[in-house]
Amino acid sequence: MTRRAPLLAAVAAILLTAAWWYFLYQPKRVEQADLIEQTAQLEDERGQLQSQIAVLREVEENEADYRSMLVRLREYIPDDPGQPEALEALQQAADASGVEIAQMTFEDPELVEEAPETNEELTALARIPMQMTVSGGYFQVVDLLRRIEVDLARAVKVSTVTMAEETEQSFPDLTVTAAGHIFSVLPVLEAGGESVEVVGPDGEPVEAATENASEGATEAPTEQASPAPEAADTSAEGGAQ
């Protein structure tokens, strides 16, 4: 019996050590590791929150500037077709340049391919094809295009410009046709698709209104001057925003 006592004591010590390891030390070790991981996550979250707070403080400090920029952006690309306003602005630019608008037309809006999201559900960036025919001298027409590019509050892209001489009696006046687009953020029935379906107050799609010179600030002449046989037509690719 006395010979087995040390052996039993050793076995008991081993069992107690194993029990302490599995039931006391190991769980505490796992718990400690979990606490360390949670602490690291909380530190990351605190860093992110501090960054967000810094951004919000910057927004608060520059709120007036951001509101002004937002108003300017809505003038640049409004939330409606705004064709009468665009026609009025173009008429004012033509008057200031000393040219006469003979005709102005707008077509139905269409989606801009690969345009950035508007951050508003069921809206999309759309472009409205437009065409403008004016009559005036070369430098006056150049000044009009400059005003469209620089001074106009509305975003306008001029894609093509075609010039032709007037009759010999009206030389050196030119007949100039400019084609391009104006832009708007419009409500759509579906996010995808190739065409914009503008939604009216009743929730039904409506067609975009078409403004022309006879209905707006300018009136198209009943007779269009025909270019002389020796008239030269030139086309230029360009853009004005």
The full 3-state SS of the chain, as one line of letters, equals CCCHHHHHHHHHHHHHHHHHHHHHHHHHHHHHHHHHHHHHHHHHHHHHHHHHHHHHHHHHHCHHHHHHHHHHHHHHCCCCCCHHHHHHHHHHHHHHHCCEEEEEEECCCEECCCCCCCCCCCEEEEEEEEEEEEEECHHHHHHHHHHHHHCCCCCEEEEEEEEEECCHHHCCCEEEEEEEEEEEEEECCCCCCCECCEECCCCCEECCCCCCCCCCCCCCCCCCCCCCCCCCCEEEECCCC
The answer, yes or no, to whether residue 117 has pLDDT greater than 90, is no
Over range 200-229, report the average pLDDT: 41
Given pLDDT bands bounded at 50, 70 and 90, which one contains residue 4?
Answer: low
Expressed in angstroms, the distance from the first to the final Cα of the chain is 104
Given pLDDT bands bounded at 50, 70 and 90, which one contains residue 210?
Answer: very low
Over range 140-151, report the average pLDDT: 91
Mean pLDDT of the chain: 75
- pLDDT tens for 67-94 read 887 777 888 888 888 889 999 999 999 9
Given a contact cutoff of 8 angstroms between Cβ atoms, the answer to whether 188 and 200 are in contact is no
Q: What is the pTM of this model?
A: 0.56
pLDDT value, residue 91: 93
pLDDT value, residue 2: 61
Q: Dihedral sign, CA of 211, 216, 218, 221?
A: positive
Query: Which residue did the predictor score with more confidence, 190 or 184?
Result: 184
Given a contact cutoff of 8 angstroms between Cβ atoms, the answer to whether 185 and 122 are in contact is no
Query: Which residue did the predictor score with more confidence, 174 or 7?
Result: 174
- Residue labelled with tokens 């003979």: 102
d(CA 104, CA 87): 8
pLDDT value, residue 225: 38
The answer, yes or no, to whether residue 50 has pLDDT greater than 80, is yes
Given pLDDT bands bounded at 50, 70 and 90, which one contains residue 38?
Answer: confident
Contacts of 98 (CB under 8 A, 6+ apart): 136, 137, 140, 143
CATH fold, domain 78-237, is: Alpha-Beta Plaits (3.30.70)
